[in-house]
Amino acid sequence: MNQQTIQEENKANVKAKRYLNYIAGDWVPSVSERFTVNINPATGEVLGEVPQSTKEDIEKAVLAAKQAQKSWRLVPAPERADVLYEVARLLKEKKEDLSHILTSEMGKVISEARGEVQEAIDMAYYMAGEGRRLFGDTVPSELRNKFAMSVRVPVGVAGLITPWNFPIAIASWKSLPALVAGNAVVWKPATETPFMAAEFAKIYEEAGLPKGLLNVVFGSGGEVGNAIVEHPDVDLVSFTGSNEVGRKINERAGSLLKRTSLEMGGKNAVTVLEDADIDLAVDGIIWSAFGTAGQRCTACSRVIVHEAVKEQLETKLLERVAELKIGDGLDEEVNIGPVINQSALQQIDEYVKTGVKEGAKLLCGGKILAEDGFEKGNYYAPTIFTDVSPDMTIAKEEIFGPVTSIIAVKTLEEAIEINNSVEFGLSSSIFSRDVNRVFQAMRDLDTGIVYVNAGTTGAEIHLPFGGTKGTGNGHRDSGVAALDVYTEWKSIYVDYSGTLQRAQIDNK
Ligand code: UN1
């Protein structure tokens, strides 16, 4: 039975959940009155449905946001933060339920789902703390009896467009700093993971966030996403997703003079030097290449290894892959869940075929799993290529699936050059016991995140998340750097001399 038939069959039996848009503090259908189904990628089962919204729904959401922001910006930031503390508490209370919903609609294994919800909890506490900081500078004025300082002020209405691979963590990286800084939010979550968005909105509602400050509109990028980017009252757009879509958003928003914060993926590498702890490197590679079925922007999709330890590394990697259990992520024993949908599955398989065609050697995997209990979900076998050269397609493009490629090198310098040769610059990692070479790598790896003796995944929320080159446009999610996306600087000079003092003139 193909996926289409399964979905049709399930659709007929849908007793499942229906969520509505959340606009101006009300749960409302789209003006289109149409709905899209939400499908469990592990089983093909229809979980429920959400509105297929239009530009008109965005109009309503932006209007509500604009109105609500007028009074929210006047609420003292520590008081705004009280709502975030409550969001954090509720997320913590509902962690287990949220994790189950997350696994059901996104597919990541339950332990990772718990980790992701925890990331949102951490972010909520952290950003709540920012409500009592939001630091600016006080500086001496160059003139007597004059005071000078800078303060952060909200930008206005923030348009958020978020991906399905981290439906609550990434939404938390964006919505929490936006709100604590005094903005209102219009949010289009990914079509594949709408329930987490609705659940997050419910938590904001229960936490007492005033109506209209967070609006969730479900729908496609083409319709709803574009409407957010185009709307004159949306002051900034924060997007995480593909490089192709990010570029388009940047071009359009750029011509409208809107701020954009873009995070657009990676082609991350683990480098293993000849003095590395090989068992530790194997742990790091397996976890960061195959965790989340490789569907992380930070996933390890290249392994750059010193030729002296290549064979040893390959043997150990193969032993570990053989032990991985693939299946429905709700099963606590499972290590790798499904990929998000059928088209992702096909795309991953296309990349693998291209790898074979271009002469890479397949060490393991390389196929869609469609039998022996895997019939109903979107499963791909964990795949390792070796003898990969840096100019092959699989070594350059983001695959977003459980596929990694081994590239052999002779020196650290060569490894760094290959690491930096790709279009992206999100994350990198080096395994070595030589402190001098590690520091050289820390300096020269051209990525926004560098790990030493750990895989390429696992960013913590209190440091900036983002990258160089095709990964982004200079902004960062999470950490205190996120506040730079959601605030404008205002410099204020207070002259208490009672005279007109001309800067740069009267004091020279
Ligand atoms: C992503 O893949 O877009 O560092 C986010 C990590 C996670 C976040 C990943 N904390 O892998």
Calculate how far, in angstroms, residue 293's C-alpha sits from the geometric centre of ligand 1: 13
CA gap 396, 407 in Å, rounded: 12
Return d(Cα 50, Cα 173) in angstroms, integer. 23
Q: Rounded to two decimals, what is the model's pTM?
A: 0.96
- Say yes or no to pLDDT of 209 above 50: yes
Could you state, in order of their start, the residue ranges of all structural domains in the chain? Answer: 62-264+472-490, 268-452
Model confidence at 1, in pLDDT bands (50, 70, 90)? very low
At what angle are helices 310-323 and 278-290 packed, to 10 degrees? 50
Indicate the helix (H) or strand (E) that contains 430: strand 427-431
CATH topology agreement for domains 62-264+472-490 and 268-452: no
Q: Which fold has domain 62-264+472-490?
A: Aldehyde Dehydrogenase; Chain A, domain 1 (3.40.605)
Contact 338, 377 (CB under 8 A): yes
Out of 297, 300, 314, 398, which one is annotated catalytic?
297
Share of the chain above pLDDT 90, in %: 96
Could you give the CA distance from residue 446 to residue 450 in angstroms, rounded to a whole number? Answer: 9
Q: Per the residue annotation, which of 263, 300, 314, 398 is the catalytic one? A: 263
**Ligand 1: which residues within 6 Å by Cβ?**
119, 165-166, 296-298, 457-459
Pocket test for ligand 1, best of 117, 457, 461, 471 (most atoms within 8 A of CB): 457
CATH architecture classification, 268-452: 3-Layer(aba) Sandwich (3.40)
Residue 13, pLDDT > 70, answer: no
Kindly report the three-state secondary structure assignment for every residue of 181-247. Answer: CCCEEEEECCCCCHHHHHHHHHHHHHCCCCCCCEEECCCCHHHHHHHHHHCCCCCEEEEECCHHHHH
- Cβ atoms of 303 and 404 within 8 Å: the answer is yes
Helix then strand then coil, % of the chain, to nearest 5: 40, 20, 40
pLDDT at 6: 46
Annotation marks residue 263 as catalytic? yes
- Report the separation in Å between the CA atom of 297 and the middle of ligand 1, taken as the mean of its atom positions: 6
* pLDDT tens-digit readout, 45-80: 999 999 999 999 999 999 999 999 999 999 999 999
- Cα 415 to middle of ligand 1, angstroms: 23
In this prediction, residues 496-503 reach a mean pLDDT of 97
CB contact at 8 A, 216 and 205: no
* Ligand 1 atom nearest 295 alpha carbon: 2
The whole-number average pLDDT for the span 94-106 is: 98
For 107: left if phi > 0, alpha if psi spans -120 to 50, otherwise beta; the answer is left
pLDDT of residue 212: 98
Judge residue 136's burial from the number of C-beta atoms within 10 Å of its C-beta, 0-12 exposed, 13-18 middle, 19 or more buried. middle
Report pLDDT for 16: 75
Which residue owns the Cα nearest ligand 1 atom 3?
A: 297
How many A from CA of 413 to the centre of ligand 1?
A: 27
- Determine whether 297 is an active site residue: yes
Q: What is the mean pLDDT of the segment spanning 185-204?
A: 98
Q: Is the per-residue pLDDT at 9 higher than 60?
A: no
Measured from the Cα of 240, ligand 1's closest atom is 3
